[in-house]
Amino acid sequence: MMKIERLRSVDSTNEYIKKYIQNREDVAVFADVQTGGKGTKGRSFLSDMGGVYFSALTFYADMGAANSFRIMTHAAVSVCSTARELGIEPEIKWPNDIRAGGRKLSGILIENGLKGDRVDFSIVGIGINVRNDVSALKGIAVSMKELLPDPPSVEAVKQSLLNNYCRPSTLEEYLSFVHFLGEEIDVSEGEERYTATASRILPDGRLEVIKGSKVRILTSAEISLR
């Protein structure tokens, strides 16, 4: 059974939950507000009142590092299933942005603790825009209150997310929310910029694209749909 802690305000749920690592217990934390929310690649994550800010610390008995993408797919499926239950049809922008109506509804940040070639634990951070004001992000982000005539309460989203996070998920579920395969995308890979066709997502999480007559495998890159 996962311990649940609820906070009014915290700098970052991902940072706060690290205090439980030494106890080796599975814990989930919700915060009403984050004052220093973290996104991917060192970016900040806007975390005002009205959103869902969640982190889960999970320990693994037998998780190979090569399978760590399953941690990401599980988190993404949890968010997408929550959105769908509440009347929103989401899609996944590889690897971990959850979008609706062409804008970002949720972000996921994962930190893994490794022991050799095994994942000892993971910290999964999830932020979902529910009733918070995202207008400062100038059309990049969207909240549930913009998408639904009768948006759910923050508490309803928290409960749905927790329920979905605590159930098993599959890679097939993750792929069912990926809608851009077969389409042209713009890729920023380091200093290189090019257009390619998204082909498939490999079981380890890498993205296969076709550039001209060549196949390229992306481990980490920024992509945008055309």
Segment 202-211, tens digit of pLDDT = 989 999 999 9
Is residue 134 within 8 A of residue 141, CB to CB? The reply is yes
Query: Would you place residue 38 in the very low, low, confident or very high pLDDT band (cuts 50, 70, 90)?
Result: low
159-165 mean pLDDT: 98
Q: Do domains 3-176 and 184-225 have the same CATH topology?
A: no
Element (H, E) at 9: strand 3-10
CA distance 220 to 188: 9
Residues 137-155: tens digit of each pLDDT: 878 999 999 999 999 999 9
CA distance 129 to 86: 13
- The architecture (CATH level 2) of 3-176 comes to 2-Layer Sandwich (3.30)
**Rg, Å, the chain Cα set:** 17
Residue 223: per-residue pLDDT: 87
Residue 190: per-residue pLDDT: 84
Q: Other C-beta atoms within 10 Å of 4: how many?
A: 12
Is residue 46 within 8 A of residue 134, CB to CB? The reply is yes
**CATH number of this structure's domain 184-225, picked from the four choices 3.40.50, 2.30.30, 2.60.40, 3.60.21:** 2.30.30
Provide the residue ranges of all domains of the chain, joining segments of one domain with +. Answer: 3-176, 184-225
Q: What are phi and psi of 3, to 5 degrees?
A: -70, 140
Q: What is the pTM of this model?
A: 0.91
Residue 41: per-residue pLDDT: 52
What is the greatest pairwise CA distance in the chain?
54
CA distance 11 to 184: 39
Q: What is the mean pLDDT of the chain?
A: 92
Q: Enumerate residues 6+ apart whose C-beta is below 8 A from 56.
A: 2, 17, 26, 27, 28, 29, 123, 124, 126, 165
Is the confidence at residue 173, as pLDDT, over 90?
Answer: yes
Residue 4: per-residue pLDDT: 97
Is residue 29 within 8 A of residue 37, CB to CB? The reply is no
Q: What are phi and psi of 190, to 5 degrees?
A: 65, -125
